[in-house]
A and B are shown apart, each in its own frame.
Chain A
Amino acid sequence: MSARSWYLLPARVWMAIFFAAPLGIVCAYSFLTRGDYGGVEQPWTIENYTRLADPLYLTILWRSLWIAGLATALCALLGFPLALFIARSGRYRNLLLQLVLLPFWTSFLVRTYAWLFILRDTGLINTILLRLHLIAAPLQFLYNDGAVLLGLVYNFLPFFVLPMYATLERLDVALLEAAADLGARPFATLRRVVIPISAPGIAAGSVLVFIPCLGAYLTPDLLGGGKSVMLGNLVQNQFTNARDWPFGSAASLLLMLASALLLAALMRSRVAQELM
């Protein structure tokens, strides 16, 4: 074996044990029949996949794509100006970047619960509004798509900001000056120079937000209250309450396929250089 292969060996072993093997098992399960108390049994079948074509599940797939897409768009809308601001902040750059990363110091779960305490009927916002007599009864902030969207955007915004920042930080200031010199006002410079040049960063950030959002289950579970079901919840539900492992496997493979197709499409574009 060449030296190169030896270097790759640990990664190969790791990938084989923790990625390829579980994926193979999930794949095999998705073609089996459910056991009575969980687990799987013979015979082999493709029924799990035909069930996925049921309008109920297609709706969930569609909802997941829609919510993940909306969350990605919101992250881009909020994250692009923020990244641009940080990239132009001179010596405060590192401090501001640390602030963007600050939420990662606590766990995802804790942060999502925190939103529960802020948004619920007896939560911070409703208590303040009630005390100020601005409202007579608590407003329903939780357990709807809006709350899920809020949770997703809040949690995944840094994943957009970081690659975006990396791209914008490399943007040559002389290009902005050249555009201004040629008659472009700041907004025209943004539209004609900054955004086209940083498109790979926008795409990279979008992928990093969209894919985890598509598979999210904790946020829709806690903030959506189970009413706002996404693909991730479907998968989780099949493995826990429904005890239908084969169908859960098929659903998770569908989720993977959706992500993989999207990624493959983007990898063909310039995004690849940006992510690697």
Chain B
Amino acid sequence: MNSVLELRGVAKEFPGHRAVDSVSLTLERGGFYALLGPSGCGKTTTLRMIGGFEQPTSGEVVLNGAVVNGLKPWQRDVCTVFQNYALFPHLTALRNVEFGLRERGVRDSEARAMKALELVQLAGKRANLPAQLSGGEKQRVALARSLVLEPQLLLLDEPLAALDPGLRKQMRAELKAMQRQTGITFLFVTHDQEEALSMSDFLAVMNKGRIEQFGTAEDVYLRPATAFVAGFLGAINWFGGAGVRPESTRVSREQPDGVPGRRGSVESLLFLGNCIHLNAKLDDGARAVAELSREENDFREGEPVWIHWRACDEMRFK
């Protein structure tokens, strides 16, 4: 029995709408998992059902082989890092981290809390109140507060959403390192596909209360199961029924041999620093984007071009 969490056909209905519509998912011990989807897809509700803040309307939540439906949050060996951290404003960083340990009656709670603060490199801020901490520091205190309890499973609700973009990238690496270091299973919810792809071992892509695909980052990006997954994980060009990623879309002046292609003209060129996005208007009225390196780009706006791709880069959906 190596799975930490198993969701068996879990559904949640609120008055007037079905937030989660039969979600099944199994998380193996020690992995880093992401639940990715647009806002309102039911990912946060799913997380809240695992944490015990919502009760499923039907289905089973299984933690370590035991059904935990009906158990309260304080009865579950799961911790949550909340979106806005939910640090106790009247307690110092150290006391925040110590909160759960004290509740469990751990004897050397202060020493252990201190260790957890050291783990997140905030030992020096132990006496600060949350109001005296920066966003990134609050995030780390919240993380330490949960990790110190060594839960079977750590849930993170949009953990990076409240941070500045620069800090967000740094915290991605830190979160991942923290997960590897502690060996605790992480399940984090995000609507940012880049975050999900870069951090997680496995991700579940949710849409309208269902999981559309579960797999590794490569799986879902390169072999999306549905048109929704393909479109949500990255930009996509539609050529009839075939979807092609911009980085697999090529541009030339001559008609290419032996590969599918369409005729069009360069509508605009966007310089993005590390690459260039060439927006083309096809003769049939459709639009396509090709991601080119700086060396590849010698095109001008308005110039007629051929847009082509390899058949093996086509993604097709039923």
Contact = CB atoms under 8 A, between A and B. Distances in A.
12 contacts: A174-B86, A178-B87, A180-B72, A182-B74, A182-B100, A182-B149, A183-B74, A183-B103, A183-B149, A184-B74, A196-B90, A197-B88
B210 interface: no
A193 B82 contact: no
Interface string B146-175: 100100000000000000000000000000
Interface in B267-313: none
Contacts of A193: 88
Given A177-B73, A196-B90, A182 B84 contact: no
A172 B87 CA distance: 10
Given A182-B74, A188-B103, 20 more contacts: A174-B82, A174-B86, A175-B88, A178-B86, A178-B87, A178-B88, A179-B88, A179-B99, A180-B52, A180-B53, A181-B74, A181-B78, A181-B80, A182-B99, A182-B103, A182-B149, A184-B100, A184-B103, A185-B74, A192-B99
Which of A177, A182, A197 is packed against the most chain B CB atoms within 10 Å?
A182
Nearest to B89: A197
A181 B84 contact: no
A184 B88 CA distance: 13
B74 A177 contact: no
A179 B87 CA distance: 9
A179 B96 CA distance: 10
Interface of A: 172, 174-175, 177-185, 188, 192-193, 196-197
B145 interface: yes
Contacts of B99: 179, 182, 184, 192
B112 to A, nearest CB: 14
Contacts of A174: 82-84, 86
A175 B74 contact: no
Contacts of A177: 53, 73, 80, 82, 86
A73 B287 CA distance: 73
Interface of B: 51-53, 72-74, 78-80, 82-84, 86-90, 99-100, 103-104, 145-146, 149
Contact of A175 (B80, B86, B100, B104): B86
Contacts of B104: 183
Contacts of A185: 72, 74
A49 to B, nearest CB: 43
B89 A180 contact: no
A90 to B, nearest CB: 12
B84 to A, nearest CB: 6
A-side interface mostly: helix
Which of A179, A183, A188, A192 is packed against the most chain B CB atoms within 10 Å?
A183
B86 A180 contact: no
B88 A181 contact: no
Contacts of B79: 181-182
Contacts of A175: 86, 88-89
A182 B83 CA distance: 16
A172 B53 CA distance: 15
Contacts of A180: 52-53, 72-74
Contacts of B149: 182-183
B90 A182 contact: no
Contacts of A182: 74, 79, 99-100, 103, 145-146, 149
A51 to B, nearest CB: 47
Which of A174, A177, A178, A185 is packed against the most chain B CB atoms within 10 Å?
A178
A257 B154 CA distance: 56
Contact of B51 (A181, A184, A197): A181
Nearest to B79: A181
Nearest to B142: A178
Contacts of A178: 80, 82, 86-88
Ranked nearest first, the 5 interchain pairs of A and B with the lowest CB-CB distance are: A182-B100, A178-B86, A174-B86, A180-B73, A183-B103
Nearest to B77: A183
Contacts of B73: 177, 180-181
Contacts of B80: 177-178, 181
Contacts of B90: 196-197
Contact of B86 (A172, A183, A184): A172
A152 to B, nearest CB: 31
A27 to B, nearest CB: 42
A172 B86 CA distance: 8
A139 B119 CA distance: 68
A184 B80 CA distance: 14
A184 B98 CA distance: 12
Contacts of B72: 180, 185
